[in-house]
């Protein structure tokens, strides 16, 4: 895969944090939201309450800079363009395809380092969660899990014919703020239900928050990660 200059610059900003001792046997690839950075989520790791029974490599990639139509064409970190508030206006196939390729490249990098795909969770917040949904449903190999935070499933109409089916048994965690003014709760729930309709297992949790992450949720995320990597989900 040949990276564009913007993708090359973003790749240099990828953050990696290892939980545990020794060589990592598991990995979590966690994508940030629109206008954010790879520095957003590394600080939450100590608050997850992760088990010490395995070593996990957390990978926090940086989205490339791109103009975002809904923000007046302002250039900012984004996994794809957003043209408007309607769900269809959020569906930028070219940008999504680029970000899917980026996420698949990051998965392959972990495999090359000795972590099998069945020990890899892909996760994301908002835009990053949409990329996780899109990629996870279409990924041709077994993943450990998919975590979708304050987000939605893009290209829902195409998912029925495009999803690989390989990860139908893979646990999916969808979390959303009850007062989210950026990605409305109804869209998040509708997306989770659409994924379920394809035969996937989705655990849904709502929180008394807006478009953000709160301590109670971090505890739940850590408990879910522990259960997934223990094979208890």
Structure-token pair, residue 132? 């996780």
What's the rounded Cα separation, in Å, for the pair 22 and 39? 24
Contact yes or no for 135/122 (Cβ under 8 A): yes
What's the rounded Cα separation, in Å, for the pair 18 and 170? 23
Task: State the catalytic residue, choosing from 126, 150, 176, 191.
Answer: 126
Residue 19 among the catalytic residues: no
Q: What b/e sequence results for 33-54 when a residue is b if at least 16 CB atoms lie within 10 Å of its CB, and e otherwise?
A: bbebebebbeebbeebebbeeb
Phi, psi of 68 (to 5 degrees): -115, 115
Q: How would you classify residue 165: left for phi > 0, otherwise alpha for psi between -120 and 50, otherwise beta?
A: left
Beta-ladder partners of 31: 124
What's the rounded Cα separation, in Å, for the pair 141 and 129? 19
Phi, psi of 27 (to 5 degrees): -150, 150
What's the rounded Cα separation, in Å, for the pair 138 and 230? 24
Residue 51 among the catalytic residues: no
Residue 191 among the catalytic residues: no
Task: State the catalytic residue, choosing from 81, 92, 180, 220.
Answer: 180
DSSP for 107-151, written as a single string: HHHHHHTT--GGGEEEEEETHHHHHHHHHHHH-SS--SEEEEES-
Active-site residue numbers?
126, 180, 211
């Amino acid at each position: 895969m040949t990276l564009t200059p913007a993708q090359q610059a973003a790749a240099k900003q990828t953050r990696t944090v290892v939980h545990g001792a020794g060589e990592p046997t598991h990995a979590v690839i966690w994508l940030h939201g629109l206008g954010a950075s790879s520095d957003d989520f590394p600080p939450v790791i100590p608050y997850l309450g992760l088990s010490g029974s395995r070593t996990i490599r957390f990978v926090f990639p940086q989205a490339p800079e791109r103009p975002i139509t809904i923000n007046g064409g302002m250039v900012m970190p984004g996994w794809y363009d957003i043209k408007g508030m309607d769900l269809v206006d959020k569906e930028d196939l070219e940008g999504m395809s680029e970000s899917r390729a980026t996420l698949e490249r990051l998965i392959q990098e972990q495999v090359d380092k000795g972590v099998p795909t069945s020990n890899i969770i892909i996760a994301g917040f908002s835009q990053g969660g949409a990329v996780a949904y899109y990629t996870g449903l279409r990924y041709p190999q077994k993943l450990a899990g998919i975590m979708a935070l304050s987000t939605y499933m893009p290209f829902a109409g195409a998912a029925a014919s495009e999803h690989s089916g390989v990860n139908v048994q893979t646990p999916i965690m969808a979390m959303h703020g009850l007062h989210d003014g950026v990605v409305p709760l109804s869209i998040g729930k509708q997306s989770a239900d659409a994924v379920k309709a394809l035969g996937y297992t989705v655990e849904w949790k709502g929180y008394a928050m807006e478009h953000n992450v709160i301590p109670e949720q971090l505890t739940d995320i850590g408990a879910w990660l522990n259960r997934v990597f223990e094979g208890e989900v």
